[in-house]
Amino acid sequence: MAPVDNADVLIIGGGLWGCAIAWYLSKSFPGRILILERNSVGFGASSRAAGLLTLARNQKYYLDLVRETHHAIMDLEAQLEEDLGAHQTGSFYLASSAQSKQSLQELVSFVTKHGVDVDWISQQEAQERVPLLQLEATEDLLIASMPEDKIIDPYILTGAYAKGAKLQGVKIRRAVAVERILTENNRVVGVATNQGKFSAPIVVNAGGVWSGKLMMELGIGLPMAPVRSQYWITEPSTKVLANQPFLIMPDAKAYARPEVGGLLFGLRESESIVVDPRILPENTDDLGIKADPEGWDTLLTEFDALGHLMPGLETMGIAHYIRGFCGYTLDGKPILGEVSGIDGLILATGCSGGGLGSSGGIGRVISDVILKNPNAWDLSPYRYDRLGKVDHYSPELQQRCGKARSGKTSG
């Protein structure tokens, strides 16, 4: 079969990571770069991210990834001569339990050591900045303020990476679903799609929740599964200030930020909904979910702790419910780097709910891998096989990935 098209580097997936990789790579790579996207740019999980850009990371590699994203936004704005709408609202981290207080103190100690600005603030100051918060003096909360943190619309950021990449010569083909990664003699040669064959000596699998299925065709299991993420947006309210800090509340298993006059808030359900990757449709909106399809069960069972901190939230109407499926790994770490035994095949997947914040860093890291540049990041802890051989289709693995998502305490 003659190829429909060819490229020097082919990127599967036009989401945040795929477009960021293309943008970074095209700054210095002389060859032809092609992105294949099954829907439209940023259509999947990327556009449904909560939009939190926080430097509150307890691992140096992730802190550096997020810092790179902050730099990327500034560089994109200069290149495109556009304001991407990144708002430096800052953030408040609220801890009430002894365990959460200890974790927050350790987090603050770590990030301040690495140059992040942090202030300890009183409950009164937190309430003045976030009017919906109603904190009882007897609660003895520990509250850290991180003024450098930002929020940004994920769809705008994905589009900016794509636009910047196109200005640098990257081609993007939409409505092209990759069905198989093609190999010959232990090296990648391209991909088979619903539109025919595309040839390339380097393929980056940044296909999000579909990436694991593509690897299973090669006999390689990834330790990740498609897990539902969800959030709600209230109707506009005078109780929500446009410039108020976003909130991370681990004891309430919740986060919240201002959005179009209302409050965007997310809750971690105790039992995350996981789907078998073999039944994922082209558009995950078409995926029928029998258990809690509109998130009402989560609100009923998980809202009380958040409602205690923000009692006025209970009377605010819900304007929008947003859900998406994100690739969560067993250990919460991304899957990055080259694949042993298949030259030219590179993985960039398993974002585990941190795809937006890490996007700039991932773009730079994978670009360095392709260019054979000395890499500032040791990718060995993020290899696809770090947890041994796994069956991507195993129900047990899928449920364990769901539990990893339910146990997450950051935004």
Q: What percent of the chain has pLDDT over 70?
A: 95
The pLDDT, as a whole number, for residue 138 is 59
3-state helix, strand, coil in the chain (%, to 5): 35, 25, 40
Q: Which residues, including other chains, have CB under 8 Å from residue 401's CB and lie 6 or more apart? A: 223, 224, 225, 227, 274, 328, 329, 330
- Say what the pLDDT of residue 26 is: 98
In a domain, 274, yes or no: no
Q: Read off the pTM.
A: 0.95
Q: Does residue 380 belong to any structural domain of this protein?
A: yes
217: CATH: 3.50.50.60
Structure tokens at 300: 């009923």
Residue 121 to residue 173: CA distance in whole angstroms: 49
Q: In which domain, by residue range, is 369 found?
A: 5-80+153-223+330-394
Torsion of CA 376, 380, 381, 386, to 10 degrees: 160
390 touches 331 (CB < 8 A): no
The answer to whether residue 47 is domain-embedded is yes
- Average of per-residue pLDDT across 279-283: 76
pLDDT tens string 383-392: 999 999 999 9
Whole-number mean pLDDT of the chain? 92
Has residue 96 got a pLDDT over 70? Answer: yes
Residues 6+ positions from 296 with CB-CB distance below 8 Å: none
In angstroms, the Cα distances linking 74 to 35, 66, 128, 171 are 23, 13, 30, 23
Q: Could you tell me the pLDDT band of residue 42, with boundaries at 50, 70 and 90?
A: confident
pLDDT number for residue 192: 97
Please check whether residue 125 lies inside any domain of the structure. Answer: no
Structure confidence at residue 90 (pLDDT): 97
| Residue 50 counted as domain residue | yes
* Residue 53, domain member (yes or no): yes
Residue 19 to residue 161: CA distance in whole angstroms: 5
- Does residue 385 lie in a domain region? yes
Q: What is the mean pLDDT of residues 53-58?
A: 94
Instruction: Please indicate whether residue 300 or residue 111 has the higher confidence score (pLDDT).
Output: 111
In-domain check, residue 102: no
Supply the pLDDT for residue 271: 84
Alpha-carbon gap, residue 262 to 240, rounded angstroms: 6
| Number of structural domains in the chain | 1
For residue 178, give every residue at least 6 positions away whose Cβ sits within 8 Å of its Cβ, in sequence order, or none. 12, 36, 38, 191, 192, 193, 207, 210, 214
